[in-house]
Structure 1
Amino acid sequence: RKISKTTKQDYRGYRAVRTNKSSPELIKMELDNIVIDNNSEMPVILLKESNGNRYLLIWIGISEAYSIAMALSEVKTPRPMTHDLMLNTLQQLKINVESIEISQIVFDTYFAFINLRLSDGNIIKIDSRPSDGLALAVRIKCEIFAAKGVLDLMGIEFKNRIEKEKQFKEI
């Protein structure tokens, strides 16, 4: 959610990207990693453009990072975690998670939608924090997208693996 000062770009004064169109151009993304920002010591989700070299860096809370890391590691808990409960509820209601969409950024906050397919076939968009949407995405293995305008504005490229490792450490 938050933009750190650790990245090479200067984000002060950037304009907000709002995608008010009903169907903005979307770019397929992959969850590359969850890392720790070396300066802020906060977790960061690295979303990588599927057919490119750009990354979206999304700072998230510790509990959300833990939830995503648990799902990626396929760790089963004796009782459902919050995101497991949400997914179980949707499944019991026969609602499918179609995709997660990083839709806009306003100042330093990313916005997202969880796209749900109802039992009648209609798709609805539910406003979501990106971290909550991504916590569902890793559990259900659904597609992740970013609005082209968001990726164009906030996407960064690392020159090499070493540059990436200087900014972040593995969880």
Structure 2
Amino acid sequence: MRMIEMFFGDMSTVLKPSDSYAMVLTEAEGGKDRKLAVIIGAPEAQAIKMAQIGYRTPRPFTHELLMNLIYEGGMDFIQAVIYDVKDGIYYTHLYMERPDGSEYEADARTTDVVALSMRAHFPIYIEEELLERERLRNISPDGSVYTLTVNAVSTDMLEQALAEAVKQEDYERASQLRDEIKRRKEEKETEEPNPLHL
């Protein structure tokens, strides 16, 4: 599988709910200019913006603390790989090198990886097939409006979009949104064991 390097491109604050942001990752290789939007909350957006401008606080934030612990432990960052998305959540592995040269793989939030990468300067990759499937699609002639894939959106956001579609009497769209919400809820029910049946 081919890996595509991505870098932080921009942050959008126009999403509802108002405490949600779209962190846009842009393809590093020239030519295709593919973009990926990761929906994040306000604290994550703040951490990334602070890293982007190089803001230093009197006391270390969590990402700086983690980075210091990694380095003091003799480890180093190698790379991160975004490998999946499900119900609005992107899944990422962070790869580090131990002092003996062996590799350590950690599951990490994509937002944390981006914030760390901006501080520690390691590359972030995504599987090309995943990027092609989940990338933003330009839907306006002037290139200013994009659409998200349904996988990139949380269930809460789908429920808000459903309410808006019903309000606007767009029943075809409402039906599609309802079906996706139902699919997610059914899938979640089959994944989680019932604690009452031990």
Q: Whose helix fraction is larger, Structure 1's or Structure 2's?
A: 2
Q: Structure 1 counterpart of 2:9, which letter?
A: D
TM-superposed CA distance for 1:112, in Å, is 0.4
Deviations 1:22-63 (A, max 9, x none): xx4311111111221344331111011122221110011211
CA RMSD of aligned residues (A): 2.1
Note if contact 1:53-1:157 (Cα within 8 Å) is conserved in structure 2: no
SS in 2 for 1:60: strand
Structure 1 residues 164 and 126: alpha-carbon distance in aligned structure 2, compared to 1, 3 A threshold = farther
Find the aligned partners of 1:130 and 1:43 in 2 and give their Cα distance: 14
Find the aligned partners of 2:40 and 2:141 in 1 and give their Cα distance: 22
Find the aligned partners of 2:145 and 2:122 in 1 and give their Cα distance: 28
TM-superposed CA distance for 1:162, in Å, is 5.2
Sequence identity percentage: 23
Structure 1 residues 122 and 108: alpha-carbon distance in aligned structure 2, compared to 1, 3 A threshold = same
Answer 1 or 2: higher relative contact order, Cα 8 Å, separation at least 6.
1
Q: What number of residue pairs does the alignment pair up?
A: 144
Q: Structure 2 counterpart of 1:45, which letter?
A: M
State whether structure 2 residue 11 is matched by structure 1 residue 34. Answer: yes
Q: Structure 1 counterpart of 2:73, which letter?
A: L
Q: Structure 2 counterpart of 1:85, which letter?
A: L
Find the aligned partners of 1:138 and 1:76 in 2 and give their Cα distance: 13
Note if contact 2:75-2:96 (Cα within 8 Å) is conserved in structure 1: yes
Q: Match for residue 69 of structure 1?
A: 49
Which one has the largest radius of gyration?
A: 2
Q: TM-score, normalised by structure 2?
A: 0.66
Residue of 85, 91, 94 corresponding to 1:105 = 85
Q: Match for residue 127 of structure 1?
A: 107
Find the aligned partners of 2:127 and 2:14 in 1 and give their Cα distance: 24
Find the aligned partners of 1:107 and 1:61 in 2 and give their Cα distance: 15
Find the aligned partners of 1:141 and 1:97 in 2 and give their Cα distance: 9
Structure 1 residues 129 and 120: alpha-carbon distance in aligned structure 2, compared to 1, 3 A threshold = same
Unaligned runs of 5+ in 2: 148-198
State whether structure 2 residue 24 is matched by structure 1 residue 56. Answer: no
Q: Match for residue 133 of structure 2?
A: 153
Unaligned runs of 5+ in 1: 1-23
Find the aligned partners of 1:74 and 1:160 in 2 and give their Cα distance: 34
Find the aligned partners of 1:161 and 1:68 in 2 and give their Cα distance: 30
Find the aligned partners of 2:128 and 2:146 in 1 and give their Cα distance: 27
